[in-house]
Amino acid sequence: MREQLEKIKLEALEEIKEATNSQRIDEIRVKYLGKKGSLTTILRGMGSLSPEERPIIGKFANEVREFIEEEIKKALLNIKNKERELKIKGEYIDITMPGKKVEIGGIHPLNKVLDEIKDIFFGMGFSIAEGPEVELDYYNFEALNVPKNHPARDEQDTFYISENLVLRTQTSPIQVRTMEKTKPPIRIIAPGRVYRSDAVDATHSPIFYQIEGLVVDKGITMANLKGTLETFAKRFFGEKTRTKFRPHHFPFTEPSAEMDVSCFVCGGEGCRVCKGSGWIEILGCGMVHPDVLRKGGIDPDEYSGFAFGMGLDRIVMIKYGIDDIRLLYENDIRFLKQF
């Protein structure tokens, strides 16, 4: 039996040395030390030994078991160290290699121009007002002096969610909401996304952006309107920019006008951008209608005001010479990289 134990010891040692992974080590442990292992089988036969041999063989068997357990422990530790070294080598980073280029995005031309316009009006004491894009029919139309039978209410022009809810067609409702909540003096701009039921083409989109402004205080006149918008035009298009106001009609202002600026490309001489006229239309404006002031909770006998509105998309297209509004919404990297 001693010879068998010695043989098991040598065979186990040989197999442990040849093992290359922890799974194989576990198989060896089961083979020799498990419940049905070689060493366990021999120990069960110790009952046939004489009383004198039994303690000697028992002691030697325990020594063999301890030896195999110790060798297995050493082998496992060695294998784990090797596996760690291989993992470290596989994760090695050569810090001398050139890094991967990180693509950095830019500011979208719509946001770029919007920020520029905001800065100009901030400098004149304006603040930003915001409102919901899903708007009540009252604020989108009635409070702006647009009666029930007005053509602007036609479903061909407006997205109706229900009889009393629409996707706002302009940011003008923000002006009424501001008047309801704020006592004059009021000086705000209201930029935001608006919706019209237009077919998509080079100059039309069902989604676009507007910037509207409102000033309400005692003694506000058309001169204040002209001075504010001329200041904006000169700061945005250049100090040599000239302005021209043409009479127009808007239901929410009276008197009303459209403002043109001298072409910043040709200086008013006439070119492709201004279609040979020397002028470019950029916005609509006027003195706030007394009925609109009343609906905003402001007494028109005590206060007056002016309002204006411009299409941000149009301003961007004019500024950068873009001839198709769809380019602003297609997110084509080749196009956006130019800005």
Annotated binding site for Mg(2+): 254
- Helix locations, 108-221, DSSP H: 109-123, 137-140, 172-181
Cβ neighbors of 38 (< 8 A, separation 6 or more) are 8, 31, 32
Mapped onto helix, strand or coil, the DSSP state of residue 56 is helix
Token pair for 41: 């089988």
* Alpha-carbon distance values, 124 to 60, 127, 184, 294, 330 (Å): 99, 9, 16, 26, 34
76 contacts 27 by C-beta, under 8 angstroms: no
Q: Alpha-carbon distance 245 to 259, whole Å?
A: 5
**Binding region:** 254
* Alpha-carbon distance values, 188 to 262, 275, 305 (Å): 26, 33, 12
Q: Alpha-carbon distance 290 to 313, whole Å?
A: 30
